[in-house]
Structure 1
Amino acid sequence: MTRTSTRYTDHETNGGPGMERRTGLIRTLIALSVLLFWAPVSTAAAAPGAAAAGGCGVLAPGASAAAERAIAAACAEVDAGTWYTWGGGHGAQPGPTYGQVDPSDPEDSKHDPERRGFDCSGLVRHAYAKATGSDLLNGVASQQYYTHRAAERFTAAQGLAPLLPGDLLAWGTSKDLHHIAIYLGAGKMVEAKESGTKLMVSDVRLNGSYFGAVRVNTGQVTGHIHQTWGTGVWTKAEPFLKAARVYAFPHSTTIRVQCQKRSEMVESDGYKNDVWSYLPDYKAWVTNIYIKGPAWLENVPECKS
């Protein structure tokens, strides 16, 4: 810019025929130079923290500060070349751990016990723990998707349009959610994909097994929060035993109860109860036998329909 301005002054001083034409041309060139110089600065200012093309980072506006920090934590592991390891990231505290041999894929995962890293849900757990300073999402993919900390949920049919960076994408079925990743925006996600690979940025796979997404509430949780007990406890589409299965709690799980009602009597593990609770995060029912507390939960309203 300074050199162009100096040349312009020199032309003015020299004078002579054609000076106006040269002056006009030089002014045009100066204007173009200013435009070219300013455009990238404006773009960068409009999207602070955005990753370079093809990189790992926040790729769209609208994310919360906590979501941006979670993405930064996950991307730091990508940049560090951290490995996928089956079972990795599920130690007593969030963070990389040595993996295990995956019984369903022993050949590809044979080196996982030698590598410190994350599986898909281990990475999500680590990212949001780093973002918030609290172990909010300690669990497998299904527990993270069905978290009682859900601020909003999105179906597969809604696609990517309503999503924001930091939302969690899940694949599988209601009975078996087997993969989870963190959305970056612009159709990209960061994930721990499979044994034999390192953590990576990928195109979101909106294939037949894409289940939906959840936005994590990192603030105060609202609603009636309770804890289940037992292992392999199935939730049901309706409040009776022969209803379709929705999801099985692998172990004690924190749940949000919307309401409760009397329905089919259930006898199990030495208990007998006809009260069922509706769980809005699962869109399913569970017998109150497996919810810690009295047979009729205190302060939880009765379902009216």
Structure 2
Amino acid sequence: MLPFANMPYGNAPVYCFPLTEICMYLLLLLCGWHAMKKGTAQVAWLLGALCFGLLLEYVNVATNSGYVYGQFWLMLGKAPRNIPFCIGCGWAVIIYSSRLFTDNFALPAWAAAALDSLLALNIDVSMDVVAYRLHMWHWDWAGRGYPAETLTGQWFGVPYANFYGWLLVVFFYSFFSRLLEKAAVKKMWKATLPLLSIILSQAALCLSLFPLANLLKQAFGISSMHRLLALLIILMLLVAIGFARRNKKSAHYFPPAAWVVPLWFHLYFVTWLFLGGFSGENSRMTLFSLLNVMAGIFIHLPMLIKKRPVTILAETC
């Protein structure tokens, strides 16, 4: 018997979920080791991203936002509305590694947060279509009244609202954290900033995902796809303006935590795309998945092979 109606794929191999979970914990350890070497503020940033990820997933699942999780080893909450701890770890390492990349470019806080969001989306596009088919999480198209769209609805079965949410989650946490850091003087004060960032980010996220989204849809007929496209354009414009306005050259700091995380996500899930037999389902889905992986490699590879750091000239605002 298949796990979900209208989903033609059976359960993932028995080793898939444990392997995924262990890898997530190892990535968190890698980022945690780097953060401890850099100091209290970095550790707080990483732990804040972990807590924010767990909180937003718990709220979404508890409020029946249209998806449920598969059962991993370590679950938080009561089934079926429980969440895997490793998903929070995934949020943490993606946000953390994205910042290690963007901090090289001396961008204003709003532009750096926008670039963080786009980097995170690049990872999510590789991950979601595959993880969904492995039943790591499941969007209930049949329950919404669209059983025929289980694999074809919106982005090959992944709702556009999911990507919209990804962009906002990373943007708000990154932006508020960076903004508050500028006001922090004492180290102990910096250690408490992620808590305030979580509160502000969750409030902004709730407003964006519910009242604002409902207003746009009811008053102007703006769908989740329209919101996603508009947000992508806005974020790309912010990044472009940020690069144009920066007043110091790029540095070069690219530790393993900055590139191992995106590399693992891209390679791991594109491997399952073929290993799970999903690549033959839809040629366009497979093509876009491979192009997205290539985009991720193209973005990170120049920093990986760069040898000499560039001298920083001045402090940006």
Normalising by structure 1, report the TM-score.
Answer: 0.25
Q: Which has the higher strand share?
A: 1
Which structure has the larger Rg over C-alpha atoms? Answer: 1
Normalising by structure 2, report the TM-score.
Answer: 0.25
Q: Which has the higher helix share?
A: 2
Instruction: Name the structure, 1 or 2, with higher relative contact order (CA <8 Å, separation 6+).
Output: 2
